[in-house]
Amino acid sequence: AQSVSQHNHHVILSEAASLELGCNYSYGGTVNLFWYVQYPGQHLQLLLKYFSGDPLVKGIKGFEAEFIKSKFSFNLRKPSVQWSDTAEYFCAVNRNSGNTPLVFGKGTRLSVIA
């Protein structure tokens, strides 16, 4: 079975700082990778996804993530965070076959301070 590890439980950054959130997964086969964001009081929203092609994917709101197959990693980055990026970030993976559900990491809470 797949599993997803997010290394940082809570990250606190000042506005304009750069962000990198770690995500590693364990699964030997082909996977699809996702990052979701959950703003306070809201439902999960898709930031970006990777399923094939260029391993560097760009998402909404200036976020990007890089798939490094050899490291089983899919880290999320943003060059300059804003206060409005304060949220919970979830990395998720599913097998690239059939109608398989997403398996989520524990999430990383990002707090951006002015």
Partner 1 sequence: GAVVSQHPSWVICKSGTSVKIECRSLDFQATTMFWYRQFPKQSLMLMATSNEGSKATYEQGVEKDKFLINHASLTLSTLTVTSAHPEDSSFYICSARDPGPSSQPQHFGDGTRLSIL
How far apart CA 16 and CA 41 sit, in angstroms, is 24
Two structure tokens written together for 111: 């707090």
Distances (CA, A) of 108 to 5, 11, 29, 54, 99: 10, 7, 25, 25, 26
Q: Does 103 bind partner 1 (CB under 8 A)?
A: yes
Considering only residues 19, 89, 105, 110, which one is a binding residue for partner 1 as defined by CB under 8 A? 105
- Scanning 18-26, 30-38, 67-75, 79-87 for contacts with partner 1 by CB under 8 A, the matching segment is 30-38
Considering only residues 21, 24, 34, 110, which one is a binding residue for partner 1 as defined by CB under 8 A? 34
Q: Does 11 bind partner 1 (CB under 8 A)?
A: no
Neighbours of 61 (CB within 10 A): 13
How far apart CA 47 and CA 108 sit, in angstroms, is 14
Q: Does 104 bind partner 1 (CB under 8 A)?
A: yes
Give residues 82-101 in contact with partner 1 (rule: CB under 8 A): 90, 94-101
Considering only residues 44, 64, 77, 86, which one is a binding residue for partner 1 as defined by CB under 8 A? 44
Category of 47 on φ-ψ map: left (φ > 0), alpha (ψ -120 to 50) or beta? alpha
Residues that bind partner 1 (CB under 8 A): 32, 34, 36, 42-46, 49, 51-52, 90, 94-107
